[in-house]
Amino acid sequence: MGAHAELHDASVPAYRRACGFCSLQEWCWPPGMDECGLKHLHSIVHRTGSLPAGGHLFRACHPFTASNAVRRGCIKSYTLDLQGNELVRDFHLAGELLGFDAVYPERHHFNALVLKEASLCIIPYRDIAELSRRFPGLQTRILALMSRDFSRQQLCAEGCDAAQQVAIFLFDIAARLRRQMPVEYDFDLPVSRENIANYLRISPETLSRVMSKLQRAGLLSANRTHIRFLDVARLGLIATGAHLKDNSVLN
């Protein structure tokens, strides 16, 4: 559901020009949706321009009227505890949906902040619900996307110790970035270490110590936001928790 306005081939339908390079394209064009359905889908989706970092898409308890598909950039979802401290809930990258969990009770459960300049496709819920009734395959795809992201969030929360949590997170980010470009295991983190530590519920100092230990063990190199995996197999063992039984994995 992304857009690339620079493509202006008049022989190609507008929705195909708009979505041609979007990483959500395979999910938005379900089997069985005919040309008329695709045109209708294109007509109800609003594509934003560039949204600067630092702005909110919505805040907790705001009415839910539409879901969002991230075309580019990075969005942080977070809540506040009783003391007003920020608790990072997730990071939403290109090719991911944001906001569908507010279908019930039709109010958002969290705040959504633009971390890196972004652009979105905004999908009015009532319109997409009506279209899903006509094309059940669309609803199936949306549910699959929601399930994929929920499963990923659960996995990142399963680490038994900080090293395992960090390894899981790094593999997760690498996999999500690979949906956008062939990054393999050499990439730039789209979020700050402070935000990562908050998300993993560890202190920034603990994250720094873990990253330093992984570097000393020869598992990765880290230069500010740039990460390069040097020993994917051993880092994978840490992600599975093998180092908790075998100290040699991290030495």
pLDDT, tens digit (0-9, with 9 covering 90-100), for 128-177: 888 888 877 777 877 777 777 766 666 665 557 899 999 999 999 999 88
Structure tokens at 234: 């051993």
Q: Which helix (H) or strand (E) holds 68?
A: strand 66-80
For the four alpha carbons of 7, 8, 13 and 15, in that order, the dihedral sign comes to positive
Write down the residue that tokens 């907790």 correspond to.
60
CATH number of the domain located at residue range(s) 14-153 in this protein: 2.60.120.10
Q: Which of 53-62, 77-86, 117-126, 140-149 has the least mean pLDDT?
A: 140-149
Phi, psi angle pair for 65, to nearest 5°: -125, -20
DSSP 150-216: HHHHHHHT--SSHHHHHHHHHHHHHHHHHTTS--TTEEE-SS-HHHHHHHHTS-HHHHHHHHHHHHH
pLDDT for the residue numbered 96:
87
pLDDT for the residue numbered 12:
44
User: Does pLDDT of 97 surpass 90?
Assistant: no
User: Does pLDDT of 43 surpass 90?
Assistant: no
Full-model pTM = 0.84
Q: How far apart are CA 115 and CA 56, in angstroms?
A: 9
Question: Residue 223 — pLDDT band, cuts 50, 70, 90?
Answer: very high
Question: Residue 210 — pLDDT band, cuts 50, 70, 90?
Answer: very high
Judge residue 189's burial from the number of C-beta atoms within 10 Å of its C-beta, 0-12 exposed, 13-18 middle, 19 or more buried: buried
Give mean pLDDT, residues 226-238. Answer: 95
Give mean pLDDT, residues 63-73. Answer: 92
What are the residue ranges of CATH 2.60.120.10 in the chain?
A: 14-153
pLDDT for the residue numbered 154:
64
Q: How far apart are CA 27 and CA 178, in angstroms?
A: 16
User: Does pLDDT of 246 surpass 70?
Assistant: yes
Who's near 231: CB < 8 A, 6+ residues apart?
218, 219, 220
CATH number of the domain located at residue range(s) 157-250 in this protein: 1.10.10.10
Q: How far apart are CA 80 and CA 100, in angstroms?
A: 20
Mean pLDDT (the chain) is 84
pLDDT for the residue numbered 2:
37
What are the residue ranges of CATH 1.10.10.10 in the chain?
A: 157-250
